[in-house]
Amino acid sequence: MTSNPFNITEAQRLDSSKMDDFLRCPRYYFYRHVCGFRHAGQNKDLIFGTCWHLAKEALLQGKTIDEAMDLFLAEWRKHYTEDTDLEMFPKNPGNARTALEQYERQFQHDKHRAVTLRIPGVDGSITSKIATEIYGTVSIGHDLWNDTNANLMFKIDSICEDHSGKKYFVDHKTGSMNSSAYQMAYPLSIQMLTYYHVLCCIYGYENTSGGIVDLTLFKKGGNENLRLTIQRTKDMLNEWLYTARHIHQQVTVNLTMLRNEVSGQQNTPMDCFHKNSRGCTAYNRFCSYGPLCMSWSNPVAEIQKGKIPTDFVIEYWNPMEQKKDSSITLSI
3-state secondary structure of 57: helix
- pLDDT tens-place values along the chain, 332 residues long: 445 689 999 999 999 999 999 999 999 999 999 999 998 888 999 999 999 999 999 999 999 999 999 999 999 999 999 999 999 999 999 999 999 999 999 999 999 999 999 888 778 788 899 999 999 999 999 766 666 789 999 999 999 999 999 999 999 999 998 888 888 999 999 999 999 999 999 999 999 999 999 999 999 999 999 999 999 999 999 999 999 999 999 999 999 999 888 876 555 788 899 999 999 998 888 999 999 999 998 999 889 888 888 889 999 988 888 777 768 888 88
Do 287 and 281 touch, CB atoms closer than 8 A? yes
Sign of the torsion angle spanned by Cα atoms 297, 303, 304, 306: positive
Beta partners for residue 15, in sequence order = 153
**90 CB-side CA count, 13 A:** 15
